[in-house]
Structure 1
Amino acid sequence: MPTIPNPQRALAILRQTFGYPEFRPPQDEVIGTLLAGRDALVLMPTGGGKSLCYQIPAIAHAGTGVVISPLIALMEDQVNALRQAGVAAAALNSAQPMAAGRDIEDSLLAGELDLLYIAPERLLQERTLDLLARCRINLFAIDEAHCVSQWGHDFRPEYLQLRVLHERFPQVPRIALTATADLPTRQEIIQRLGLEEARVFLRSFDRPNIRYRIDAGNQGSRAQLLRFIRESHDREAGIVYCLSRKKVEETALWLQGEGIDALPYHAGLSAVERSRNQGRFQQEEGVVMVATIAFGMGIDKPNVRFVAHLNLPKSVEAYYQETGRAGRDGLAADAWMHYGLQDVIQLRQMITQSDADPARKALESQKLDAMLGLCESTGCRRQALLAYFGEQLAEPCGNCDNCLHPPATWDASTAAQKALSAIHRTGQRFGVQYLVDVLLGKDDPRIRGFGHDRVSVFGIGGELSANDWRALFRHLLLRGLVDVDPEGHGGLRLTAAARPVLRGSEKLTLRRNEAVPKRAREKGAVSTVAAGDAALWEALRQHRRQLSASQGVPPYVIFHDATLLEMLRRRPQSLAALATIPGVGERKLEAYGASFLQVLREHG
């Protein structure tokens, strides 16, 4: 284990500046590595404390730490939080007036900044590299390092050029950080950034405070979402992801009509509207953002209590990163997803119709198959999710839908033979609804016109309902027994994997398509507050809102919910006692301590 130069200095910064008593492994080792002048690659889950790994050594060493971050919103969040803690931090980005940028550059040259945040596009400009060469830089931190992977889900071409840091500044240690990277992506990060000599720190990807739940069906996703929000997360912040812009706007408008404070976010909105909606989400309590995947990577809001998906994500990495935006403060949070057969068909078609080369299409198909496998699993969701990232969880988690409500299964072999035969007998060119109508023997002019009322499979599916047949076809797609017509008409075709099932030599056991039992409200941040403490809890939150509004920063920049909950539980009556609350550093104690003590005394 590397020795931290002056380890007490790093610990003192942690306690005095950030208000935390001890490091969480492997933060101390990462900090020691950087302070010793070595490179590091850090893989930690969202909310695992990655930022402190570069912020503390940047503060501890003379000079400035330069942080490469992909989104302006993320930079602004980090800078606001650091300034609240008394750290000299700034960001250079394209949204600033030219005069403000010059002032920041002057502060950098004068050695007045502990941390400078900058986008990769700005960093790579020759003028910026020359500027940095005239400064004392103590480290480079490359955040969201998975963006370097051309095979990943958030590829940014500018990240491919960040190897220039090693070439232009060979003596400056670098740290690359990400929360989502399977083994091939990790290897690509190392190769593309020239981190072959870096120490690799791989912390568990597990987020035990997140409860995973995946529901499948073809109808009723809105009603289930509304029930989920009202019963489990009423008046709490959340994100609802949809696949298309149209669905985002329709869902946001519908939620508003149901009394939910919901806002839309997608790339088709004007920059002004996107900025306004994002600002409300960050500044206010209890706002639900309905968004495409264009939203979220730059959001550091710690008290997002749920992430919901109304469509199937394209990969496990995308799902993990998006769900990871819930519960960054460590308190209980939910990851809920509802998907249907049409999602599977649509994503398959998007892959087959794309202009990507065959290798890229094959990889995207493999990633989608892994995502579908997670959905179809009857075992512990967390075990399956962690296994994808190469991590083994010895025992089922006891905190996912499959653990809490083990799914029923059934022998679907005979029904699958009927469904596969229906595809074959109708010429392997029709969609699911048509095939279901044939199996149920529906009197339909189109079926009669094609002569499919005379095929052997017509009307042989009366033992299952239409919804059950649709669920079965979804499973056949998930298992790869059928695929989608590449011409884009939604027709289903048999694959080679269907033969053993058709012959009866392979048994097919599936999840039973049944209603999910009603869940009781899950414990979240608000529900952990006893009825007798509700008034004080709201008073603390209201005081935080007033402070944040007066300074133009989000409430969580003042204090996280977890810090307020500790105040509620401990009821400190002095500044010395308040200083022992995690998240209360010296700067915040001085700025806010007396006023929060007053709130506590008034409700004592």
Structure 2
Amino acid sequence: MPDLPSPPQRRRARRQRGSPAIPERRLQRTLRTVFGLQSLRTGQRHVIERVLEGRSTLAVMPTGAGKSLCYQLPALLLPGCTVVVSPLIALMKDQREKLHALGVNAVQFNSQVEADEIRAGEEAIREGSASIVFTTPERLADRDFAALLRSHEISLLVVDEAHCISQWGHDFRPAFLGIGAMAKALGDPPVLALTATANGEVAADIMEKLGIPASGWIDTGTYRPNLHYAVEQHAREEDRLRRTLALVASTQGSGIVYTATVKAAQAVYEALRAAGESVGLYHGRRGAADRREAQDAYMAGRLRVMVATNAFGMGIDKPDIRFVVHYQMPSGLDAYYQESGRAGRDGQASACTLLFLRRDRALQQFFLAGRYPAEEELDSLHRALKTATRNDQALTLEPPRSRRTS
């Protein structure tokens, strides 16, 4: 009697024939009973069908388009575990809590998880009860953790915020570069890369690093009809502040006011608080406990408005944000799309307003100059490296002085 094919072999055979691995009725039943949804959004179905057929995919979808469902639904339909790699600890926590509320066993591994939860998560992986494993790229690279993941079948490897893997992207993170090698170490499962911002160059870089074929690129566009964009130029700082107060007062619902500097964030926060608004403050110079308290209060609806620098927002999934005001010009178009795109994720009409003075441009150019080393600094480093290599010696350099003055 001939040997029967193993489950992985049967799945590969189904994919080669091009037939869906999961019956449509089971997909619809899971969508309805677990997630409470009657249908998939535009783009979601195409991505999910590819994932269920085991085909690696890069999905470029607008903010608020339901990218998370593109792996959460397949995770409940595929036989093994789904591993989600993300740089956003706040989003991991948020997604895990939402999945637990739906009865889905999801576990998370990052620097902010307590030891007891880590141990419970490891046991869930070991016994095969974890449907979804959230982790950072740094944790994924840990040899013992990778061995633990390999103890059970991994049906899907998800790379969230996939633009972070590209040096051409706006938010490159070196730790992402090891994900491609780790995918092979985990048995080379199908890969789903997700991002809201990837031009052709960045998309090609993502696909090359993660082994996704060109045919696997699905771009549903960036247009969101429920967002209304407006740009206003002002001549004086006091005019801009007065307009910000008016916009916040005249718009119902919750909102975010973004500033480019901590100083501006503090000034806008004080002005809104003096005007009687329910407002919080979030920037990188506040203590971690203060930031967490402000974020939790905003997410729970105890604060109506959050004034923040770009330190706030990555991984924040609050569906009912009705307005986003940029008090100053952001660092670039990608950043503006990400930040303004936090409005209206429930599909309802929302306003995105950019206020600027001419000097905002000079401020961003100043930040840009401090972000990258100057030519003389690179020359100095190159000479030191050449000298150390010739002399076969260890190298210690004083860190270059910051060229920023504030």
Q: TM-score, normalised by structure 2?
A: 0.84
CA distance in 2, matches of 1:325, 1:314: 17
Given that 1:4 and 1:31 are in contact with CA atoms closer than 8 Å, whether structure 2 keeps it comes out as no
Give the C-alpha shift of residue 149 in structure 1. Answer: 2.1
Q: What CA deviation, in whole Å up to 9, does each residue of 1:543-596 have, x standing for no partner?
A: xxxxxxxxxxxxxxxxxxxxxxxxxxxxxxxxxxxxxxxxxxxxxxxxxxxxxx
The verdict on how the C-alpha distance between 1:352 and 1:99 changes in structure 2, with shifts beyond 3 A counting, is closer
2:317 to 296, 300, 306: 300
2:349 corresponds, among 332, 349, 354, to 332
Distance 1:353 1:104, change over 3 A: closer
Distance 2:357 2:156 in 1: 47
Q: Secondary structure at the match of 2:321?
A: coil
2:361 to 344, 363, 378: 344
Deviation at 1:76, TM superposition (A): 1.1
Report the residue type matching 1:237 in the other structure: S
Q: What is the CA–CA distance in structure 1 between the aligned matches of 2:147 and 2:290, rounded to whole Å?
A: 36
User: What amino acid maps onto 1:254 in structure 2?
Assistant: A
Partner of 2:297: 280
Contact in 1 for aligned 2:257/2:306 (Cα 8 Å): yes
Offset at residue 295 of structure 1 (A): 0.8
**In 1, Cα distance between equivalents of 2:110 and 2:325:** 31
Aligned partner of 1:226 in structure 2 is 245
Q: Which amino acid aligns with 1:271?
A: A
Instruction: Give the number of equivalent residue pairs.
Output: 359
Residues 166 and 194 in structure 1, CA contact (< 8 A), matched pair in contact too: no
Question: Structure 1 100/488 Cα, relative in aligned 2: closer, same or farther at 3 Å?
Answer: closer
1:84 and 2:93 equivalent? no
Matches within 5 A, 1:134-533: 134-196=151-213, 199-219=216-236, 220-233=239-252, 236-352=253-369, 354-356=371-373
Aligned to 1:13: 30
Q: Which amino acid aligns with 1:42?
A: A
Task: State, as a whole percentage, how many aligned pairs show the same letter.
Answer: 36
Deviation at 1:340, TM superposition (A): 0.6
* 8 Å Cα contact 1:248/1:291 also seen in 2: yes
Change (3 A) 1:350 1:73: closer
**Alpha-carbon distance, 1:269 to partner:** 0.8
- Change in 2 beyond 3 A, CA 1:254/1:152: same
State the distance in 2 between where 1:139 and 1:205 align: 25
In structure 2, the CA distance between the partners of 1:15 and 1:347, relative to structure 1 (3 Å rule), is: same
Q: Larger Rg: 1 or 2?
A: 1
Cα distance change of structure 1 residues 354 and 205 upon mapping to structure 2, 3 Å threshold: closer
Q: Using the alignment, how far apart are the partners of 2:304 and 2:213 within structure 1?
A: 44
**Cα shift readout 1:82-102 (whole Å, capped 9, x = no counterpart):** 111221112122212212201
Are 2:231 and 2:355, in contact at CA under 8 Å, matched by a contact in 1?
A: yes
Contact 1:38 1:198 in 2 (8 A): no
Deviation at 1:193, TM superposition (A): 2.2
- Counterpart residue type for residue 229 of structure 1: V
What stretches of structure 2 of length at least 5 have no aligned partner?
Answer: 1-17, 376-402
Contact 1:160 1:193 in 2 (8 A): no
Determine the structure 2 residue equivalent to 1:62.
Answer: 79
Residues 56 and 306 of structure 1, relative CA distance in 2, 3 Å threshold: same
Deviation at 1:299, TM superposition (A): 0.3
Q: Is the 8 A contact 1:143 1:177 kept in 2?
A: yes
Cα deviation 1:59-113 (Å, max 9, x = unaligned): 1012211111112110111111111122111212221221220111101111111
DSSP-derived class of the 2:218 partner: strand
Provide closer, same or farther for how the CA distance between residues 250 and 131 of structure 1 changes in structure 2, counting only shifts above 3 A.
Answer: same
Q: Alpha-carbon deviation of 1:165?
A: 3.2
**C-alpha separation in 1, matches of 2:228 and 2:200:** 25
- The answer as to whether partners of 2:162 and 2:194 remain within 8 angstroms in 1 is yes
SS in 1 for 2:157: strand
Determine helix, strand or coil for the equivalent of 1:11: helix
CA distance in 2, matches of 1:155, 1:238: 28
Contact 1:72-1:298 at 8 Å conserved across structures? yes
Q: Quote the offset at 1:227 in angstroms.
A: 0.8
| Equivalent residue number for residue 130 of structure 2 | 113
Matched residue type, 2:64:
G
**In 1, Cα distance between equivalents of 2:366 and 2:303:** 37
- What's the CA shift for 1:247? 1.4
CA distance in 1, matches of 2:404, 2:93: 43
Question: Which amino acid in the other structure matches residue 243 of structure 1?
Answer: A
Corresponding residue number in structure 2 for 1:422: none
Equivalent residue number for residue 411 of structure 1: none
Q: What TM-score comes out, normalization by structure 1 length?
A: 0.57
Partner of 2:397 in structure 1? none
Q: 2 CA distance for matches of 1:188 and 1:283?
A: 38
Distance, in Å, in 1 between the alignment partners of 2:335 and 2:157 is 26
Q: In structure 1, how many angstroms separate the alpha carbons of the residues matched to 2:114 and 2:257?
A: 34
1:351: how far off?
3.3
**For 2:370 and 2:180, how far apart are their aligned partners in 1?**
34
CA distance in 1, matches of 2:198, 2:218: 13
Query: Distance in 2 between the 1:204 and 1:213 partners?
Result: 20
2:264 aligns to what SS in structure 1? helix
Matched residue of 1:50: which SS?
A: coil
- CA distance in structure 2 between the aligned counterparts of 1:354 and 1:282, rounded to whole angstroms: 31
Q: Contact 1:68–1:120 at 8 Å: present in 2 too?
A: yes
Alignment-mate amino acid for residue 114 of structure 1: S
Is the CA contact (8 Å cut-off) linking 1:241 and 1:290 kept in structure 2? yes
| 1:281 counterpart SS class | helix
Show the 5 A alignment for 1:127-138: 127-138=144-155
Unaligned stretches of 5+ residues in structure 1: 359-486, 490-604
Structure 2 residue 58 is matched with structure 1 residue 41: yes
Query: Aligned residue for 2:400?
Result: none
Query: Match of 1:85, as an amino acid?
Result: L
Structure 1 residue 103 corresponds to structure 2 residue 120? yes
Give the letter aligned to residue 241 of structure 2.
R
- Helix, strand or coil: the match of 2:20? coil
Q: Answer whether contact 2:284 2:311 (CA < 8 A) is retained.
A: yes
Q: In 2 relative to 1, CA 310–32 (structure 1 residues): closer, same or farther, beyond 3 Å?
A: same
- CA distance, structure 1, for counterparts of residue 325 and residue 298 of structure 2: 16
1:287 shift after superposition: 2.1
Letter in 1 for 2:185: R
**Given the superposition, is the C-alpha separation of residues 4 and 63 from structure 1 closer, same or farther in structure 2, using an over 3 Å criterion?**
closer
Residues in 1 aligned to 2:374 and 2:199: alpha-carbon distance in whole angstroms: 22
